[in-house]
Amino acid sequence: MQSPISRLLIGDTSKSGESDSDLSGSNSSDSDSDSAALSSVPPSPTSPPSSLKLKTSAASPDSKAAAIASHRQALADASARLDSVQAGTWMIIVHVIEVRELRSNDPDGSADPVVLVELDFGEGNKKKAHTRVVNNDRNAVFDETFKFEFPSLSRPDLEMGQLGVMVVDADISVGNHGSGSVVGSWSADVLDAVYSRPDHELYRSYVCLENDDASSAADAGAQGFLKLTVAVVGPGDRQKLHDLEKEQQAERKGAGSGADGAMSTCLPPSMGKMELRFLVIQLHSIQNLCTPSSLIYVTVDFGSTSFSTNPTKTFSQPHTALTIPARYSKIDQSLHLAVLHPTMSQSIRISVHERSHLGPLKTSRLVATCRILKLSRVRAYPAKFKNLSLPFYGAPPPPQTSSLLSSPSSAITTMNRRQENASHYRGRLVVTVKEKGGEKKDGREKAQENK
């Protein structure tokens, strides 16, 4: 029996009538699906995601079978680590080591970097910290460690956990942190990207800093690189102890043999070529909506980015004596999010909100949430995410006389935010999720896609 965390990783389909294999692609009898699954693993910053595919395509059948078996074992080990997740006190240790080759926005080509770190596990569970400012250095060394302790995290809180890191050019002449220009940022899922790894850590790895506000492919390239360690320590876990001096000597030795110095050995080859893609969420309609509100909107969260549709009207849905009164809404809106690949953010969270206009006031309230989708599954099995019917669950529907001005209780808020704690079916959302970019298509393929 799968744990709630495992069901979230592959998409909990038990309530929607879809099989887990439809979205997870776990078909051991089909060698093609095994090969496709190789590309569905979240990319590792220390191993180019295309390396395994390149090796198996040119290797013998025995080598390919061994690679697939190794891949399956890695997935099983990661799943076992996620299944061991327990509620309780958690600590996240972030060691900010250095930045390299930061892109400068100043006329003189300089930068005064400061690194901002944020952990977000939902409302009431957010913590921030920042390093010191290093003046006039695009290759600054920080060597600062931050420990974030969260005394009471539940499984749903952990599944929503996000680590965000931002490098800001502090512009000393301006005066304080954060008032300068943003150089780039990086985000990762705490469980999927870090805790699922061996020893529950991302160790002394370079990550690519992205520009979330990029208006072109040129501006969306690598803004620089950040070297860091992230360790996630849960109940009963112990942080691994490393022989830092020995490892640094190995790094220096490897750097001396490279033509480009340390960057050629410490920086993964995949980080040198970042690819701009777009995560496209096409929201078609909402049906069987159990709420009296006449205006609704949908919010999509991916990584540290959140974006919403425009509010749309709801209409009464025909019902019989055997069905409850419900409403529907024709949304027909698309949301586009630029994603620099490879990325360590995988979770796509979709929630439904209601809005009310009460005189001069505009108030909003969360109705319910859908199950979490995974970007790796969207990439591997795009056909499964076309016109996908996503049921959403939450607290019991409010009475017709309920006002949005009244504050919901903590129990209602928890049920609306966490599908695992929900008690009532609140409707279903018809959505298409796909990723654009990253592949070349001929004219016939483009024409077929437009149809």
pLDDT in tens, 318-363: 766 556 678 889 999 999 988 877 777 888 889 888 886 554 556 7
What are 328's two structure tokens?
A: 């529907």
CA separation for the pair 384, 381 (Å, rounded) = 6
Confidence bin at 52 (pLDDT 50/70/90): very low
CA dihedral sign of residues 65, 69, 70, 71:
positive
Q: What is the mean pLDDT of residues 422-448?
A: 72
| H or E stretch at 68 | helix 61-83
Sheet architecture: strand order including 126-130: 126-130, 113-120, 162-169, 181-189
**Is 50 exceeded by the pLDDT of residue 146?**
yes
Answer yes or no: are the C-beta atoms of 290 and 428 closer than 8 Å. no
Answer yes or no: are the C-beta atoms of 286 and 370 closer than 8 Å. no
Task: Tell me which of 3.40.50.720, 2.60.40.150, 1.20.120.160, 3.40.50.300 is the CATH number of domain 88-242.
Answer: 2.60.40.150
Of the candidate ranges 91-100, 148-157, 320-329, 420-429, the one whose mean pLDDT is the lowest = 320-329
What are 159's two structure tokens?
A: 């599944």
CA separation for the pair 366, 34 (Å, rounded) = 39
Of the candidate ranges 4-13, 67-76, 379-388, the one whose mean pLDDT is the lowest = 4-13
**Is 70 exceeded by the pLDDT of residue 54?**
no
Q: Comparing 88-242 with 276-450, is the CATH topology the same?
A: yes
Q: What was the pLDDT predicted at 274?
A: 63
What are 398's two structure tokens?
A: 């409010």
Of the candidate ranges 66-75, 169-178, 306-315, the one whose mean pLDDT is the lowest = 169-178
Alpha-carbon 171 to chain mean position:
30
Residue 361 burial by Cβ neighbours in a 10 Å radius (0-12, 13-18, 19+): exposed
Q: What is the mean pLDDT of residues 286-314?
A: 86
Question: In this predicted model, what pLDDT tens digit does every residue of 207-228 receive, in sequence order?
Answer: 888 876 655 555 556 788 999 9
| H or E stretch at 160 | helix 155-160
Q: What was the pLDDT predicted at 48?
A: 35
Confidence bin at 44 (pLDDT 50/70/90): very low
Confidence bin at 444 (pLDDT 50/70/90): very low
Distance from first CA to last CA of the chain, Å, rounded?
41
Contacts by 9-15, CB closer than 8 A, 24 or more apart:
9/79, 9/82, 9/192, 9/374, 10/374, 10/377, 11/371, 11/372, 11/373, 11/374, 11/377, 12/371, 12/419, 13/371, 15/371, 15/391, 15/393, 15/425
- What DSSP designation does 109 have? S
Report the amino acid identity of residue 102.
L
Asked if CATH classification 3.40.220.10 holds for the domain at 276-450, the reply, yes or no, is no
Q: What was the pLDDT predicted at 321?
A: 57
* 131 contact partners, CB below 8 Å, separation of at least 6: 96, 114, 115, 142, 144
CA separation for the pair 357, 294 (Å, rounded) = 10
Q: What is the mean pLDDT of residues 285-306?
A: 84
Q: Domain map of the chain by residue range?
A: 4-83, 88-242, 276-450
CA separation for the pair 212, 290 (Å, rounded) = 36
How big, in percent rounded to 5, are the helix, strand and coil portions of the chain?
A: 25, 35, 35
Q: Are strands 162-169 and 113-120 parallel, antiparallel or unpaired?
A: antiparallel
Q: What was the pLDDT predicted at 43?
A: 39
Confidence bin at 140 (pLDDT 50/70/90): very high
Average pLDDT, whole number, for the chain? Answer: 74
Q: What is the mean pLDDT of residues 144-167?
A: 89
**Helices 61-83, 51-58: crossing angle, 10 deg rounding:** 150
Q: What was the pLDDT predicted at 161?
A: 87
- Identify each DSSP E strand in 256-325 by its residue range: 275-289, 295-302, 305-308, 312-313, 315-317
**Is 90 exceeded by the pLDDT of residue 124?**
no
Q: Are strands 113-120 and 126-130 parallel, antiparallel or unpaired?
A: antiparallel
